[in-house]
Chain A
Amino acid sequence: MAKNDKRIIKNIRIDVDKCNGCRACEVICAAHHAQPRFSSTNPARARVRVIREPLSDIYVPVFAGEYTAAECAGRDKYIIDGKEYEECAFCRASCPSRDIFKEPDSDLPLKCDMCESDPTLEEPLCVTWCLADALVYEEREEDAAPEARPEEVDEGLEALAKRHGWDKVMDAVNRMGSKD
């Protein structure tokens, strides 16, 4: 009998029209993640950056997402309401193509963790410090994807063996399994 698991989706709603460009989100993010907590600040270490182009009236808070080892094959440029956003403006990746979302000393990638800490905070601190309400925290519950049944893997392998023979399947499993 499948368990009906729930999981919490944490979401920061970003209203770029309300952003006043103060970068308090960057300041408190870097301070929160300092060791010890709040012992220093440095927007260069922040996991949220405000993409700013004042003379185009562009202010976009962007949160650090996944690390990627390679740049995109191509770039894209959004024009919204006549405003031309820079390439990568909305991208969350810590990526070789730009210097944000990397520790300045080590270049190690940074990623927003929604201020996970003990005790748990009510909301990420960037949201608390954004009195303009450009950043608003939301949680919602979603059905968790049901866990795969063990039989599913057995069935899959049998299907592959029927097609390629067990030797080839075992070779492939060994080869792939030894790659860390």
Chain B
Amino acid sequence: MRYAETGFNLELDLARGNIERVPTDAHLSELHLGGLGTNARLMWDRVGPEVDAFDDENLLVFGTGLLAGTPAPGCNRTIVSTISPQTKLMAFSMMGGFWGPELKHAGYDKVVIKGKSPEWVYIYINDDTVEIRDAKRFVGLGTLESAELIRQELGEPNVQISSIGLAGENRVWFASIEQGRASASRLGVGAVMGDKKVKAIAVKGSKDIQIAKPLDFIQHCNDALKYIEKRDKNPIPNVMPILAGLGSPQEMAIHDEKWHTENFMWGNARERRKEFWTEEIQEVWTETMETMRTRLLSCHNCPMKCGASIAVDKRFCSYMMKCFSKLTYTMGAYSDLDFGLRIAQKATEHGIDAFSGPQTMAFAVELYEAGILTDKEMPDFPADNEGRFYWLLDRIVRREGIGDVLADGTYWAAETIGNGAEEYAHNNIRKTEQLPLKLGMLNPIYFLMYCTGEKANITQIEGNFPQAPFFTREENEAFIEDWPHVPHEKFKEWFVEWELRGEKSIPNYPPIDATCEIVDWQERMHYIDDSTGMCAGLSSFPLKPPFHIHNLPGLISAGTGFDLDEEGLVHLTKRNRNLVRANNLRRGLTRADEKPPEDHWKRRFPELEKRLLDEYYTYKGWNQEGVPTRETLEDLDLGYVYEEFVQRGILKEEEKATAGSAAQEGGGP
């Protein structure tokens, strides 16, 4: 008997039309849990570094978290892994919603798609019945539009659907997979789905998910719900409203956008508007949101309400929105919230990432204004910013004209356009667009997180440690009073001492050794969530969440029956983290790729930055090129990674290594 998981993957080979229900190895779940962990293992075993995003051999893996669909609140995530067309590395884009739990109830932990279908298809999974069905009549339709029609065609109103729009169909490198309430947006997973000619995956399930220790497990769930209720009534004092509560940032509920609009950059991550947020703007934007938002929404079995139904052209709901996509179009186009919510409706139907999309559009506007792109490339380019964004969106998702170039994202578009365009693609890490944030003084914690975050997305590594100290030491002291989340008491001491100005302030505080441990802790929590399918919003992302390193081992053990304590979970998470990195190192990731955007901070400290990275690598058990050492790998049962690293010349074989031995080109530096 398998608990929490189903013990089966659904494997589809679209070139041959083959469908198989494949039993999985229970031992792998004990080694990696599920979700990202077992996805990384699949990618390592089956997708070599010679495979490109749009090759037949690339896999598109929809991996549910190990606890997804169990009664654990907020455990509903699906981790989509594939090779990213944009970064050329292993992508792991995630979505909540309802699709993952439904897949588990249908009897599968993952859907693994290989090969390309000759014609457009959608996949229909209804328990043991799986069909590859004709999707020709849905081609060209929006993500939600086609999902609705598929529901009608199947006569199944409760089927859960993940689908792509025009952007995915046309292989836009930042195309998303949309699921109504949720989306897997980053790193172009929608383009790979489109390349495989899969318009949608519809799922309906009616099987049980088993729990190993039922009473123990429910106790954990009840404790979490009680804590969430309490924490909701007690937001953290003296931090900006969106960071005070739980969940992903409560963008749909909170109207006060002073912090985002005055601290984040407008346009192409370009300009900070310090006096932007006036009473008048607050009034207008509040009115916009209150008028268009018809309901706050949750994902499967989660009490948080991070999403919303937004009605723009319909009375009740045209689409569903969440998180910072509320402002990315608005700020990219120097416009207002009304515009932002309206264009996001079109962009959601087309299925593009709400970070990379608007930033690529703002980048094009800048290039036009700088004369690098002209009326020749951009005929009839409107004069107003709003019009320009709609013009660009249309062309990007269709890959028409200049849209075909821009559809690769700012890094690659700049390379194609040339003529100085490279300087305008200034906000990338690992060739993918970042949050539009530019700050003054280097922050050592964030420096390491930006450099080494395997997904190149700061929100997927930051979280449990406050972004900055409070104004006074007394406030710091008050904060640590109820902070059982820390792995060790010393984290509290580091925080109490932290000052906004003075000796113990950034960039030289926290000290490097503390910085390493703080980064490691925050990252670890994300890797746990990404393998269990727990939403970061209840665990790794907010301050003082219900789930943390001390109660998660109990939850996972009670759910799965694994004998997992805190030490065991930390060890397992290191294994997953190193395996994801191994996938990327094998694909050519080097130390040189591990850097924040040049202009992220005004004040940079090359010496300190080098020491930070050196010492963090050492702390992680990696060599100075960022490659896990033999000892690290073997300690994590990743001996097979070591073997391959040696074979590929990424690591030198220890003991036997001599100068001039078989080290090959490519791979490691």
Contacts and interface: CB of A to CB of B under 8 A. Distances in A.
Are A and B a genuine interacting pair, yes or no?
yes
A24 B301 contact: yes
B294 interface: yes
A39 B303 contact: no
A41 B303 contact: no
A49 to B, nearest CB: 9
Contact of B317 (A17, A39, A54): A54
Contact of A82 (B69, B206, B299, B315): B315
A28 B181 CA distance: 21
Contacts of B225: 128-129, 131
Interface string A25-49: 0011001001011111111110000
Contacts of B297: 20-21, 54
Contacts of A22: 298-303
Given A21-B298, A38-B214, A41-B69, A83 B208 contact: no
B340 interface: no
Contacts, number: 106
A38 B208 CA distance: 11
A15 interface: no
Contacts of B218: 31, 38
B141 to A, nearest CB: 14
Contacts of B298: 20-22, 132
B71 A39 contact: no
B320 A54 contact: yes
A42 B105 contact: yes
A54 B303 contact: no
B208 A20 contact: no
A70 B323 CA distance: 46
A92 interface: no
A111 interface: no
Contact of B211 (A39, A52, A59): A39
Interface string B270-298: 00000000000000000000000011111
A38 B215 contact: yes
A44 B205 contact: yes
B305 A37 contact: no
A55 B317 contact: yes
B206 A23 contact: no
Contacts of B622: none
A55 B144 contact: yes
A56 interface: yes
A53 interface: yes
A56 B211 contact: no
A24 B69 contact: no
B228 interface: yes
Contact of B148 (A44, A55, A129): A55
Contact of B214 (A36, A53, A132): A36
Contacts of B315: 82
Given A38-B214, A129-B225, A131-B225, A57 B309 contact: yes
A104 interface: yes
Interface string B128-156: 00000000000000001000100000000
A27 B209 CA distance: 10
A38 B98 contact: no
A86 interface: yes
Interface string B551-592: 000000000000000000000000000000000000000000
A119 B396 CA distance: 62
A23 B98 contact: yes
A23 B309 contact: no
A52 B70 CA distance: 21
A42 B615 CA distance: 48
Nearest to B70: A41
Contacts of B206: 42, 44, 104
Contacts of A129: 225
A53 B105 contact: no
- Which DSSP category, helix, strand, loop or mixed, fits chain A's interface? mixed
B73 interface: yes
A138 to B, nearest CB: 20
B215 A42 contact: no
Contacts of A57: 294-295, 309, 311, 316-317
Contacts of A37: 214-215
Contacts of B208: 34, 40-42, 45
B329 interface: no
B510 interface: no
Contact of A40 (B157, B209, B215, B309): B209
Contacts of B209: 40-42
A21 B206 CA distance: 19
B317 A27 contact: no
Contacts of A36: 214
A20 B303 CA distance: 8
B217 interface: yes
A42 B101 CA distance: 10
Contacts of A38: 71, 211, 214-215, 217-218
Nearest to B305: A20
B24 interface: no
A82 B314 CA distance: 12
Contacts of B69: 41
Interface in A104-121: 104
Contacts of B507: none
A83 B315 CA distance: 9
Contacts of A28: 71
Given A54-B181, A131-B303, A44 B71 contact: no
Contacts of A41: 69-71, 208-209, 211
Task: Find the residue from A23, A39, A55 having the highest chain B CB count within 10 A.
Answer: A55
Contacts of B325: none
B317 A20 contact: no
Contacts of B229: 131
Interface string A58-69: 110000000000
A53 B157 contact: yes
Interface in B335-352: none
A45 B71 CA distance: 14
A96 B211 CA distance: 31
A131 B228 contact: yes
3 closest residue pairs by CB, A with B: A22-B298, A38-B214, A44-B206
Given A23-B300, A57-B295, 11 more contacts: A22-B300, A22-B303, A37-B215, A41-B209, A41-B211, A52-B158, A54-B181, A55-B148, A55-B318, A83-B316, A132-B305
6 contacts: A22-B303, A27-B301, A39-B211, A42-B209, A44-B205, A131-B232
